[in-house]
Structure 1
Amino acid sequence: MDSISTDGSVSRRTVLATGGGVALAASTLAACGGGDGTTPSGPSSSQSAMAGAGGGAGRVLAKVSDVPVGGAVSATDAQGKPLIVSQPSAGSVVAFSAICTHMGCTVAPDGKILRCPCHGSTYDPATGTNTGGPAPRPLSKVTVSVKDGNVVEG
């Protein structure tokens, strides 16, 4: 028997033939899954406190004052999906899905750009347009508005 020796150990060939593909697939999925802890995708503690028990339209995503002009912050929608909230100019806010259009990793603010940690795609925080890397499409726009100094869904 080639794959298992008489002492019960498994040969290198068997491990590579049967388990190697599984290990490779698992590591690939972890790298592109967005849940590998490489980027903060959840709301900040102040955003969590503002979220309340309700969901849907009108849910607070961030305080406008917490979103840098020309920059962005990470947030989550009512279903827990990661978002990017940007303030292209003072008082003007926009939001996008934080799911990279390449392989589905979670995009995060990185200075004046949005960056995917998995394969290096970059996006413009004001428009969601892909500006570099393998991403084939812009980030999906999310409807938001400003109410009482807060960025809210809907």
Structure 2
Amino acid sequence: MPFEPSTPGPESTRRGMLVGVGLVGLAGTLTACGGSKDDSSADASQGTGSQNGGGQSGGGSLGKAADIPVGGGKIFKDEKVVVTQPKQGEFKAFSAICTHRGCPVGSVSDGKINCPCHGSAFNVADGSVAKGPADKPLPSKNVTVQNGELKLG
């Protein structure tokens, strides 16, 4: 029996195309599940509107300093900032976007800023990582108190 090189027939070409299309679809699905730095769908699902009813940024008033509990904090979704009060009269502000996958943080409790996406937690005093998978602290922001009002600065 003489050797004949095989040439792809219509069946193998069609099969290869179907496998390729399936792999592309799988890659798209995996990418969608992975999250990203700009995860606007996660932000949208968290709702809109800051706790003070305004969407100011760049020096605008966030609300009353008295609304921030000592040892806790408050998330201002529109401004993408979380303000904490680690000790009486000491206010800190951090980005409200988790450094792991870019999800918005969801709560502040027990001295931690908590991300609901993958379980990361950050310390209210300095934004450092208290629990992974995040491995970078929340970036700090400037916040001041003027006449009892919190202002980003």
The TM-score bracket by the shorter chain reads: 0.7 to 0.9
Whether contact under 8 Å (1:115, 1:122) holds in the other structure is: yes
What is the aligned length?
140
Could you give the per-residue CA deviations for residues 108-141 of structure 1, whole angstroms, max 9, x where no partner exists?
3242211112221110112111111121221111
Whether contact under 8 Å (1:69, 1:90) holds in the other structure is: yes
Q: Percent identity?
A: 33
Whether contact under 8 Å (1:84, 1:108) holds in the other structure is: no
Could you give the per-residue CA deviations for residues 56-87 of structure 1, whole angstroms, max 9, x where no partner exists?
22x111211221111011115xxx54111111
Q: CA–CA distance in 1 between the matches of 2:81 and 2:39?
A: 15
Aligned amino acid, residue 88 of structure 2: A
1:43 maps to: 50
Closer, same or farther in 2 for the Cα pair 1:62/1:108, shift >3 Å? farther
Closer, same or farther in 2 for the Cα pair 1:31/1:99, shift >3 Å? closer
**How many Å apart are 1:91 and its aligned residue?**
2.2
2:29 maps to: 23
* Superposed counterparts of 1:40-119, under 5 Å: 42-44=49-51, 47-49=52-54, 51=55, 55-57=57-59, 59-76=60-77, 80-112=78-110, 113-119=112-118
Q: CA–CA distance in 1 between the matches of 2:119 and 2:140?
A: 20
Q: CA–CA distance in 1 between the matches of 2:79 and 2:114?
A: 17
Aligned amino acid, residue 53 of structure 2: S
Whether contact under 8 Å (2:50, 2:79) holds in the other structure is: no
Closer, same or farther in 2 for the Cα pair 1:129/1:30, shift >3 Å? closer
Q: Say what the alpha-carbon RMSD is for the aligned residues.
A: 2.9
Q: Which has the larger radius of gyration?
A: 2
TM-score computed with the length of structure 1 as normaliser: 0.74
- Detail structure 1 runs of 4+ shifted over 4 Å in the superposition: 1-4, 37-42
Unaligned residue ranges in structure 1 (runs of 5+):
5-10
Q: CA–CA distance in 1 between the matches of 2:69 and 2:79?
A: 22
Whether contact under 8 Å (1:82, 1:99) holds in the other structure is: yes
Unaligned residue ranges in structure 2 (runs of 5+):
1-9
Aligned amino acid, residue 50 of structure 2: P
**How many Å apart are 1:14 and its aligned residue?**
5.8
